[in-house]
Chain A
Amino acid sequence: MSELLEVHDLTVHFATEDGLVEAVDNVSFSVRPGEILGVVGESGSGKSVTAHALLRLIRPPGRIVRGEIRFEGADLLALPEARMGAVRGARIALVFQSPRTALNPVLTVGRQIARLYELHQHVAPAEAWRRTIEMLTLVGIAEPERRARQYAHQLSGGMCQRVMIAMAIASSPRLLIADEPTTGLDVSIAAQILDLLRALGRRTGASIVLITHDLGVVAEACDRVAVMHAGQLVEIADVHTLFKRPLHPYTQALVRSIPRIDREVAMEPIPGAVPSLLAPAPGCRYADRCARVLEVCRRERPVLRAAGASHEVACHAVEVESGTAVR
Chain B
Amino acid sequence: MPSRWRVALLSVEGLVKHFPLGGARAWLDRLGGQAPRSVRAVDGVSFAVAPGETLGLVGESGCGKSTVARSILRLVEPTAGRVTFGDVNLTTLSAEPLRRQRRDLQMVFQDPTASLNPRLSVGRTVEEPLRRHTTLGTGERRARVAEVLAQVGLGPELAGRYSHELSGGQRQRVNFARAIATRPRFVVLDEPTSALDVSLRARAILLLDELRATLGMTYLFISHDLASVKYLAHRVAVMYLGTIVEEASTAELFARPLHPYTRALLSAVPVPDPDVRRARIVLAGEVPSPIDIPGGCRLRGRCPLAQPVCAEPVTLREVAPAHRVACHLV
Task: Let me know if B199 and A218 touch, CB within 8 A.
Answer: no
Q: CB within 8 Å of A: which of B297-324?
A: none
Look across to chain A and name the residue whose beta carbon is closest to the beta carbon of B225: A259
Q: How far is the CA of A258 from the CA of B266 in the complex (A)?
A: 16
Q: CB within 8 Å of B: which of A246-270?
A: 254-255, 257-262, 267-270
Task: Let me know if A258 and B268 touch, CB within 8 A.
Answer: no
Q: CB within 8 Å of A: which of B234-288?
A: 254, 264-266, 268-276, 280, 282-283, 285-286
For the complex formed, measure the closest distance between the CB of B196 and the CB atoms of chain A, giving whole angstroms.
9
CB contacts (< 8 Å) of A259 on chain B: these are 201-202, 205, 225, 227-228, 230-231
- The verdict on B185 contacting chain A, using a C-beta distance below 8 Å, is no
- The verdict on B226 contacting chain A, using a C-beta distance below 8 Å, is yes
Task: Let me know if B60 and A188 touch, CB within 8 A.
Answer: yes
Chain A contact surface mostly: helix
Query: Which of A26-34, A125-133, A171-179, A189-197 makes up part of the contact surface?
Result: A189-197
Q: How far is the CA of A268 from the CA of B201 in the complex (A)?
A: 11
A191-B280, A239-B274, A267-B206 are known contacts. Are A258 and B264 too (CB-CB below 8 A)? no
CB contacts (< 8 Å) of B199 on chain A: these are 42, 254, 257, 269-270
Task: Let me know if B202 and A187 touch, CB within 8 A.
Answer: no
CB contacts (< 8 Å) of B197 on chain A: these are 42-43, 213
Q: How far is the CA of A192 from the CA of B283 in the complex (A)?
A: 10
Look across to chain B and name the residue whose beta carbon is closest to the beta carbon of A43: B197
A187-B224, A189-B286, A261-B227 are known contacts. Are A216 and B270 too (CB-CB below 8 A)? yes
For the complex formed, measure the closest distance between the CB of B153 and the CB atoms of chain A, giving whole angstroms.
11
Q: How far is the CA of A43 from the CA of B167 in the complex (A)?
A: 11
For the complex formed, measure the closest distance between the CB of A276 and the CB atoms of chain B, giving whole angstroms.
11
- The verdict on A217 contacting chain B, using a C-beta distance below 8 Å, is yes
Q: CB within 8 Å of B: which of A216-241?
A: 216-221, 239-240
Q: How far is the CA of A170 from the CA of B279 in the complex (A)?
A: 31
A219-B273, A267-B231, A273-B167 are known contacts. Are A187 and B226 too (CB-CB below 8 A)? yes
Q: CB within 8 Å of A: which of B128-164?
A: none
CB contacts (< 8 Å) of B264 on chain A: these are 188
Task: Let me know if B206 and A191 touch, CB within 8 A.
Answer: no
For the complex formed, measure the closest distance between the CB of B266 and the CB atoms of chain A, giving whole angstroms.
7
Q: How far is the CA of A216 from the CA of B276 in the complex (A)?
A: 11
Which of B201, B265, B274, B285 has the most chain A CB within a 10 Å cutoff?
A: B274
CB contacts (< 8 Å) of A261 on chain B: these are 226-227, 230, 254, 266, 269, 271
Q: Which residues of A contact B (CB under 8 A)?
A: 42-43, 142, 156-159, 186-192, 194, 213-221, 239-240, 243-244, 254-255, 257-262, 267-270, 273
Other than the given A216-B272, A258-B272, 4 more pairs (CB < 8 A) read A194-B270, A215-B272, A219-B274, A269-B202
CB-defined A-B contacts under 8 Å, sample of 14:
A43-B168, A43-B197, A157-B61, A188-B60, A190-B270, A220-B274, A221-B270, A257-B199, A258-B227, A259-B205, A259-B227, A259-B228, A262-B273, A267-B202
